[in-house]
Amino acid sequence: MNISDGGHMIKITDYPQMKACAWYLAPGSQFNDREALDFYERNWKYIEQNELTAHEKKLIERLTKEVGYGFLNV
C-alpha cells in the first residue's frame, strides 16, 4: 500500500457494480484509491446507477472528494 496511490486497498467483490464491470479480473483483485476512481470513470457507462448500494455510493463519493479533487470525470 502506498500513500501516493491513495492509501487504501479496495476489494472489488465488496462493491456489486464494480464487481459486475470487473468480471475479467482475477478473483481477489483489489484496487488502490486512484485505480478505483479511474476504473469507475472509465466504466461509468456500464454502471447501473440505480443499482448502486449505499456502501458503494459512499465509496464513489469518498474517491471523488479525496482522489478526484471533487470531480467524477464521466
Q: Map out the domains of the chain as residue ranges.
A: 7-66
Query: What is the per-residue pLDDT across 6-24, written as a single tens digit (0 to 9) for each?
Result: 568 999 999 999 999 999 9
Taking CA atoms, 3 is separated from 20, 30, 34, 62, 63, in Å, by 27, 15, 10, 15, 14
Which cell numbers in the block locate residue 68?
Answer: 478526484
Q: Which residues contact 10 (CB under 8 A, 6 or more apart)?
A: 18, 30, 31, 32, 33, 36, 59
Is the pTM of the predicted complex or chain greater than 0.85?
A: yes
N- to C-terminal Cα separation, the chain: 26
Cα 46 to chain centroid distance, Å, stands at 13
Mean pLDDT of the chain: 93
